[in-house]
Amino acid sequence: MARLMELRVVTPEKVVFEGAARSLVAPAWDGWVGVLPGHAPFLTLLGSGPLEVDSESGERRAFGISGGVMKVESNQVMVLADRVEPS
């Protein structure tokens, strides 16, 4: 199983983050969702809260996001957020 997945965090205005991630925890509309490499195709609405990402180097990054959708497909995670605050 692949140990990394490609993550893109995009807002209407720009691409906020693009890179590899080991795992992430996202605030979905109905609760927290954890995504690991090899996750099944998945589509969900997002609520608001921190999007926590374990990046390739093992460093933990968090983005404050609110609203939007997340799509997971063949190890590619696309977060389309209405708003992202770097934190």
Partner 1 sequence: MAQAREVLRRIKSVRNTRKITRTMELIATSKLKRAMDRMVAARPYSDALGELLRSLRAPGLEQDHPLLRQPAETKRAAVLLLTANRGFCGAFNANLIREARTKLEELEAAGVETELHIAGKKGLTFFRFRGRAIASSTIAIGDAPTPEDAEGLIAPVRDSFESGALDAVYLVSAKFRSAMSTPPGTQLVLPVEPRADARSVDAFIVSPPPVKLVGRILPRYLTSVVYRALVENAAGEQGARRAAMKSATDNAGEMIDTLTRSYNRARQAQITQEIAEIVGGAAALE
Contacting positions for partner 1 (CB under 8 A)? 8, 10-15, 28-30, 40-45, 68-69, 71, 73, 78, 80, 82
62: which 2 tokens?
A: 């968090």
Nearer to partner 1, 22 or 71 (CB): 71
Nearer to partner 1, 12 or 58 (CB): 12
As a dihedral over the C-alpha atoms of residue 38, residue 46, residue 8, residue 3, rounded to 10 degrees, the angle is: -20
Least gap, CB of 69 to partner 1 (angstroms): 6
**Angstrom distance (rounded) from CA 27 to CA 50:** 7
